Chains A and B, each alone.
Chain A
């Protein structure tokens, strides 16, 4: 699913998703990692993204 968002950082993205799709924001916040322009962020509050940024939500990755 692809959609345009107004948010420019991860926290605002979560809030926006929660508002548009109740429950989704919480799920993203707690269960997913975010990849911004190809780079995976485990905890992305500090990350900013611009108008052309590719923001992808993916399952969290642990490791062996």
Chain B
């Protein structure tokens, strides 16, 4: 079978690409489009390092075929900041030292943004369960959760950035 021709809006940019059926959205992002911010940690949906938002929903890009992306709007880690203005979640990850090696960080930031878009005022427990699909082996999650809770406060306008 010839390759699929797919049109999608990626980080606000109308984008077209060709892919084979078995290529996942993650394969396409990394190998065809050159957006290597999404990481492959497991390729089985167990680590969350490849998290992206498709049509408003948080998913693992390793568990979606590239050809399914036709007609969708996709946000990857590269599309979270507005120009040189970091998203509050990104800013708080920096301030709280919520990253060590930084490999799980793109997935965690995308997932955290999706959390706060849906639930602006999560409890610590809600944040922990929402992020349970994002493995981090370096931090023990302590500073990650603090960063997310702090970012939520800023986004609710209860605290200056």
A contacts B directly (C-beta below 8 A):
no
Chain A residues close to B by CB (< 8 Å): none
Chain B residues close to A by CB (< 8 Å): none
